């Protein structure tokens, strides 16, 4: 069974440029998560989707970050414009139902460097 | 708010040594507790979990016991291998509603031959 797929694995951009990350969850998983992982820190939730609906986006900086999950399958996270402080690893995860006893499966992440 | 505190790394051990990585939590209520492992270049993988007090999670020789009285979930392994070198994250989620993982800062383990 294929795991969570993310692309690109690495991205280097100049500040003020836009950037987008793509995630394809495990087939059949209704819940999709985007996390931000700063260097030396644990992941922090940015947004959670139940199918195509964003049900928890309280930690997403909405002035520059946006996300979508069209058709309830793969998802895109966008930053526009990027700032130096956005340099981090962006992780995608999915789970079958999102309920508290469920297991989240993580992708390898996209490492973003903003110059 | 809910939080997880892990011991600072790196933890450096020789092969076959005993491993303990400390994890304590703060939560309103009784959470489920998890250990995730991140090998170089890979995503986080669930290592083990415990959903209520006194439960013991175990996997691949690793164990952790949910201690409500000390609000702890320390990770242990009796004999580490070089292949165990990775970053280990302790995490919690509350048992009401949907899962929202709160992670610690991670502890890097380096095992030398």
Q: Cβ separation of B99 and A95 shorter than 8 Å?
A: yes
Cα–Cα distance for residue pair B86/A113, rounded to 1 Å: 23
Residue in chain A closest to B5 (alpha carbons) equals A42
Check whether A1 has a pLDDT greater than 70: no
Q: Which residues of B touch A44 (CB under 8 A)?
A: 103
Hey, is the C-beta of B14 within 8 angstroms of any chain A C-beta?
no
DSSP single-letter state for residue B52: S
Q: What is the pLDDT of residue A67?
A: 96
Q: Is the peptide bond before A8 cis (omega within 30 degrees of 0)?
A: yes
Q: What is the pLDDT of residue A85?
A: 95
A105 close to A94: Cβ distance less than 8 angstroms: yes
**How far out from the chain centre does Cα B7 lie?**
10
Task: Give residue-wise pLDDT tens across range A55-77.
Answer: 888 889 999 999 999 888 999 99
Distance, in angstroms, between B17 CA and closest chain A CA? 25
Sheet holding B56-59, edge to edge: B19-21, B75-77, B62-65, B56-59
> Which of A43, A101, A108 lies at the smallest CB-CB distance from B103?
A43
Task: Give residue-wise pLDDT tens across range A14-44.
Answer: 999 999 999 999 999 999 999 999 998 999 9
Task: Give residue-wise pLDDT tens across range B55-70.
Answer: 999 999 999 999 999 9
Residue in chain B closest to A59 (alpha carbons) equals B100
Tens of each residue's pLDDT in chain B, 113 residues: 899 999 988 999 999 999 999 999 999 888 999 999 999 888 899 999 999 999 999 999 999 999 999 999 999 999 999 999 999 999 999 877 778 899 999 999 999 99
Q: What is the pLDDT of residue A58?
A: 87
Q: Cβ separation of B46 and A108 shorter than 8 Å?
A: no
Q: Which residues are paired to A48 by β-bridges?
A: A33, A56
Q: What is the pLDDT of residue B104?
A: 96
Question: Which B-chain residues 31-70 have CB contacts (< 8 A) with chain A?
Answer: 32, 36, 41-46, 49, 51
Quote the mean pLDDT of chain A: 93
Residue in chain A closest to B92 (alpha carbons) equals A100
Check whether A48 has a pLDDT greater than 70: yes
Q: Which residues of B touch A55 (CB under 8 A)?
A: 98
């Amino acid at each position: 069974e294929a795991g969570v797929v993310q692309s690109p694995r690495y991205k280097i951009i100049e500040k003020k440029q836009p950037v987008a990350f793509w995630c394809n969850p495990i087939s059949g998983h209704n819940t999709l998560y985007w996390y931000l992982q700063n260097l030396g820190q644990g992941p922090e939730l940015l947004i959670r989707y139940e199918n195509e609906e964003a049900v928890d986006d309280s930690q997403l900086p909405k002035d520059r970050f946006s996300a979508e999950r069209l058709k309830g399958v793969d998802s895109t996270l966008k930053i526009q414009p990027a700032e130096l402080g956005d340099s981090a690893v962006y992780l995608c995860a999915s789970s079958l139902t999102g309920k508290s006893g469920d297991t989240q499966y993580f992708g390898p992440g996209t490492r973003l460097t903003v110059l | 708010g809910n939080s997880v505190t892990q011991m600072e790394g790196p933890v450096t051990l020789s092969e076959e040594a005993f491993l303990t990585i400390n994890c304590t939590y703060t939560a309103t209520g009784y959470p489920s507790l998890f250990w995730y492992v991140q090998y170089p270049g890979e995503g986080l993988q669930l290592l083990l979990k415990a959903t209520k007090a006194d439960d013991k999670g175990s996997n691949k020789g690793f164990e952790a016991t949910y201690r409500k009285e000390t609000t702890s979930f320390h990770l242990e392994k009796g004999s580490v291998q070089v292949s165990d070198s990775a970053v280990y994250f302790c995490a919690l989620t509350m048992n009401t509603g949907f899962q929202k993982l709160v992670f610690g800062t991670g502890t890097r383990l380096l095992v030398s031959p």
